[in-house]
Amino acid sequence: MPVESTLSSDGKTLTINISGRFDFEIVQEFRNAYAEHKDVDYIIDMRATEHMDSSALGMLLNMRKSLGDSAKVSIINCRPQIKKILTISRFDKKFDIE
């Protein structure tokens, strides 16, 4: 499964792992992953993400829109090229990027 979500044991943090390509193919899976859990902290782990295109940025922005600005969303373990994309698109203002 390219998208796998795991809820922490205390039920407060949802980690979404994305492996392979983060693109339009997984638009529904990604939406389902965060839509199923409300009022938690979200961590998007990109350690296995090899590539992302503009639709991934669109998905992340829609996630932010649907969760609201108050929700805490972190993006972690980005590869250099993906981090570059996120920085140049100014995503560091909307998400915590580590």
Q: Is 48 exposed, middle or buried (0-12, 13-18, 19+ CB in 10 A)?
A: middle
- Minimum distance between the CB of residue 77 and another protein, rounded to whole angstroms? 19
* Binding status of residue 50 toward another protein by CB under 8 A: no
Please give the Cα distance from 24 to 66 (Å, whole number): 18
* Count of residues interacting with another protein (CB under 8 A): 21
* Binding status of residue 10 toward another protein by CB under 8 A: no
Chosen residue from 23, 29, 74, 79 binding another protein by CB under 8 A: 23
Find out whether 73 and 96 touch, Cβ atoms under 8 Å: yes
Of residues 37 and 64, the one with the C-beta less far from another protein: 64
Of residues 8 and 81, the one with the C-beta less far from another protein: 81
Neighbours of 23 (CB within 10 A): 15
- Indicate the DSSP class of residue 92: G
Residues that bind another protein (CB under 8 A): 23-24, 27-28, 31, 52-55, 57-59, 61-62, 65, 81, 84-85, 88-90
